[in-house]
Structure 1
Amino acid sequence: GTTMWSNRWAAYNSLSQSTGLPHNTVNHKYGFVASTGVHTNGIENLWKCAKDKFKQMHGTCDAHISSYLDEFMWQRGARDRDERFQRALELIRTYYVV
């Protein structure tokens, strides 16, 4: 029932509160697309691409997985080198005010 579901996935219950990001779910018992239109295709594709990137790196160090994911998301957010460079300059200006 609902109690089992919420206990089983307790870490997800506060995800939206702790991150400030929306967290939607799909109960695959009833289908692969929720009545709200939410589906898992996007996140499954994202994880596949991340795993492919890590394979290209010939493995990863567990201690650095967070920074690998940060870099992966940074590059995915702006695939063009010029755009990444401009974004980096903006961040430097924001955090290192002269």
Structure 2
Amino acid sequence: MTLRPATLSDASSIAAISLEVWISTYLKQGVGAFFADYALEEFTTLKSGKLIADPNQYILVSDNEEGIDGFIRISLSSKAPVDGCFETEIATFYVQPRHHGKGI
């Protein structure tokens, strides 16, 4: 396993992992059209590429022999919920479920 900054060529892998993890986390009783439409519109290669290219986002990927198995996205310009806090937050932290518990 290697940790490295995301590149634009990782956009499709990040989109696929996002879709997989989001659906397995939030849709426990089946996939209805409303949430399927949302997920398919939200987790795209284009949107992932825009996040990778955004200087206010930092994405670090976990890369194994076959490809990316997880990533973390740090947002550097999030509005803090209370005054006096940092604007940096972990916006997304997704690891494929089959890789949980492996130290990724």
Q: TM-score range by the shorter chain?
A: under 0.3
With structure 1 as the length reference, what TM-score do the two structures score? Answer: 0.28
Which gives a bigger RCO, structure 1 or 2 (Cα 8 Å, sep 6+)? 2
Higher Rg of the two aligned structures: 1
Query: Which structure features the higher share of strand residues?
Result: 2
With structure 2 as the length reference, what TM-score do the two structures score? Answer: 0.27
